[in-house]
Amino acid sequence: MNELVAIHRAAKAAWARGETPVLATVLETRGSSYRKPGARMLVTADGWQGGSISGGCLEADVVRRAAWLVSSGEAVVRTYDTSADGEVVLGCGGEVDVLFESFRADSELARALEAVVTRREVVRVTVAAPGRAPLVQQLTPAPRLVVCGAGYDALPVHAMASTLGWDVHVVDWRTANLTAARFPGATLHVLAPDALSRLPLEAGCAVVVMSHHLLYDTQVLTAVLASPLPTYVGLLGPKKRTAELLESVPASLSRERLRSPVGLPLGGEGPAAVALSIVSEVHAAFSGVDLRLRSPA
């Protein structure tokens, strides 16, 4: 699950119980650190609920001290020294300044999370901390991956993408394949070929076409390439099949975004290995990394 989604859900549950959770936010780092400024984690009476501020090194101390640090009602900044002779003795060699504050439902950040998570808006927030310059941060919705095809090999693609916290949508015309049990947490769309105008595309999304049905893949690919919204379009299948499929796609549609065969050449065999190659390439696209410009080591 995406970190912002996890924090938002856990905070809303805590507020519904009449509880005010504690939010810990990385303000500044010096030297080596696992997370960057703006990383967050939420702590409720039940413990750590979502997000993270390190690789797991500092979270236990945050949970232990969170309620006590904000007991006065004021925000507090605490510095963690992760050097070999620092207080947490991790040997990482850096310092991390963490803001502890009570997270209230009427705060600027709470309203921002509502906009990002529920309306998928991009929002700029300002984090104020005592004795520090404010931290200005842009919060963005989870990247959207649209998987067109709900066959057996789409399962590990969904699973890996979900682990990365992406907003996964699965499209197929076969209702039997589109079940919450097969794709937990995904948004499912039953779309016949005559309904592909309703594909859940948005600016910057990625699309992987993998229904294993030549006609359906052709129709989906035509609809996707006709849209300016996707950043990445991947097509599963061997080169011969791709060539045959593209003969039916209007020549006026640019193939520039199309990746076929889909995925990075990582080696391996079977659905999980193929899914890893696909998700890795999509992750690079979301991160703005052009792998074509990289020379082999």
Sign of CA dihedral 108, 114, 117, 123: negative
At 119 the pLDDT is: 96
Do 128 and 180 sit in the same domain of this protein? no
Same domain, 278 and 160: yes
pLDDT, residue 90, reads: 53
Report pLDDT digits (tens) over 250-274: 999 999 999 999 999 999 899 999 9
Tell me the C-alpha to C-alpha distance, in Å, between residue 276 and each of 73, 121, 156, 157, 283: 46, 29, 8, 7, 10
Average pLDDT, the chain: 92
Mean pLDDT calculated for residue range 32-47: 91
- pLDDT class of 296 with cuts at 50, 70, 90: very low
Task: Name the residue with tokens 């948005």.
Answer: 202
- At 291 the pLDDT is 73
Which of 104, 139, 174 represents a domain boundary (last residue)? 139
pLDDT at 122: 96
Do 166 and 183 belong together in one domain?
yes
CB 221 within 8 A of CB 196: no
The reply to whether 262 and 279 lie within a common domain is yes
Q: Are residues 192 and 270 in the same domain?
A: yes
CATH number for the domain spanning 239: value is 3.40.50.720
- H helix runs in the chain, sequence order: 3-16, 59-69, 108-119, 154-163, 214-225, 239-246, 271-286
Q: DSSP string of 105-174? A: TTSHHHHHHHHHHHH---EEEEE--TTSPPEEEEE-PPPEEEEE--STTHHHHHHHHHHTT-EEEEEES-
Average pLDDT of the residues in 79-85: 74
Grouping H, G, I as helix, E, B as strand and the rest as coil, residue 246 is: helix
Quick check: 102 pLDDT over 90? yes
Q: How many C-beta atoms surround the C-beta of residue 276 within 10 A? A: 18
Question: What's residue 194's pLDDT?
Answer: 94
- 167 and 114 fall within a common domain: no
How far apart CA 29 and CA 37 sit, in angstroms, is 7
pLDDT at 33: 83
Q: Which candidate, 168, 80, 116, 84, places its Cα nearest to that of 6?
A: 116
Average pLDDT over residues 105-130: 95
Q: Verify that 128 and 158 share a domain, yes or no.
A: no
Hey, what long-range contacts does 88-92 have (CB within 8 A, 24 or more apart)? 88/57, 88/58, 88/61, 90/57, 92/31, 92/32, 92/33, 92/34, 92/57
> Based on the domain organization, do 278 and 153 belong to the same domain?
yes
Q: Which of 107, 139, 171 is the last residue of a domain?
A: 139
Tens digits of residue pLDDT in 127-173:
999 988 899 999 999 999 999 999 999 999 999 999 999 999 999 99
For residue 297, pLDDT over 50 is answered with no
Same domain, 172 and 88: no
Cα separation of 252 and 103, whole Å? 52
HSE on the CB side for 65, CA within 13 Å? 17
The domain boundary, picked from 81, 115, 139, lies at 139
Residue 32: pLDDT band by 50, 70, 90 thresholds? confident
DSSP annotation of 251 reads: T
- The pLDDT of residue 79 is above 50: yes
What's the pLDDT at 115? 97
Selection from 226, 218, 216, 170 nearest residue 193 by Cα: 216
pLDDT in tens, 176-195: 999 999 999 999 999 999 99
What is the domain range of residue 67? 3-139
Above 50 in pLDDT, residue 54?
Answer: yes
Based on the structure, what is the number of domains in the chain?
2
Q: How far is the C-alpha of 246 from the C-alpha of 139, rounded, in Å?
A: 38
Co-location of 160 and 75 in the same domain: no
Residues 124 and 152 both lie in one domain: no
Q: Which pLDDT does position 295 carry in this prediction? A: 45
In this structure, the answer to whether residues 153 and 251 fall within a common structural domain is yes
193 CA to centre of own chain: 29
Is it true that the peptide bond before 261 is cis, omega within 30 degrees of 0? yes
